[in-house]
Amino acid sequence: MNRKSLSISLLLTAADLGQIVATWLLYDPQANALIINLGWGVILLSAVFGWLPIFTFRSRGGVKGRGYIHTTVLVDTGVYSIVRHPQYLAILLINIALPLITRHWLVVILGIIGAGVICLNIFEEEKENLGKFGDAYQSYQEEVPRLNFLLGLFRLIYRRRN
């Protein structure tokens, strides 16, 4: 891991851990239940996008070595047929959900920082994937949205009908 990647990872970790701790400390159970429940619903959705890639990579990624993210083939099935970066989407959804749960300015600011760092990570990873998988990844980029899972679901349904 190079210095830039390490710095980005440390900043993301600090922002996200800070957001989680602040949410825990600033939680107000007397607040608007509808908004709090919406936040919890977004967290449940994030769990889907957070966990499915682990199973998809292990079963279809030709994983070699240390962990499930070390794929040897481009995975474009399962959750990866909906969005290109489901685990980053999961983190972004958490960055949205926690401010809904607390509605506190500190949690919002930490979420914005976390989301910004995630976006930087996504662009770096896309460059790496283009280098690793070449034209196949470029075609994949044209077919599957980066993070927009609603558009991804629509496109997946459309592809299956045609």
Mean of per-residue pLDDT scores for the chain = 89
**The CATH number, out of the four listed (3.40.50.2000, 1.10.287.990, 1.20.1250.20, 1.20.120.1630), of the domain defined by the range 3-161:** 1.20.120.1630
Query: What amino acid is encoded at 151 in this protein?
Result: L
% of the chain at pLDDT higher than 90:
57
Res 62: pLDDT: 73
Kindly give the residue spans of alpha helices, DSSP state H, lying in the chain.
Answer: 3-26, 33-60, 86-102, 105-133, 135-143, 149-161
Terminal alpha carbon distance of the chain: 42
* Residue 99 burial (C-beta neighbours within 10 Å; 0-12, 13-18, 19+): buried
Give the tens place of pLDDT for each residue, 114-145. 999 999 889 989 999 999 999 999 999 999 99
Q: How confident is the model at residue 16 (pLDDT cuts 50, 70, 90)?
A: confident
Helix axes 33-60, 86-102, angle to 10 degrees: 170
* Residues 107-115, mean pLDDT to the nearest whole number: 92
Q: pLDDT band at residue 69, thresholds of 50, 70 and 90?
A: confident
What is the identity of the amino acid at 126?
E
The C-alpha angle 38, 54, 84, rounded to 5 degrees, equals: 70
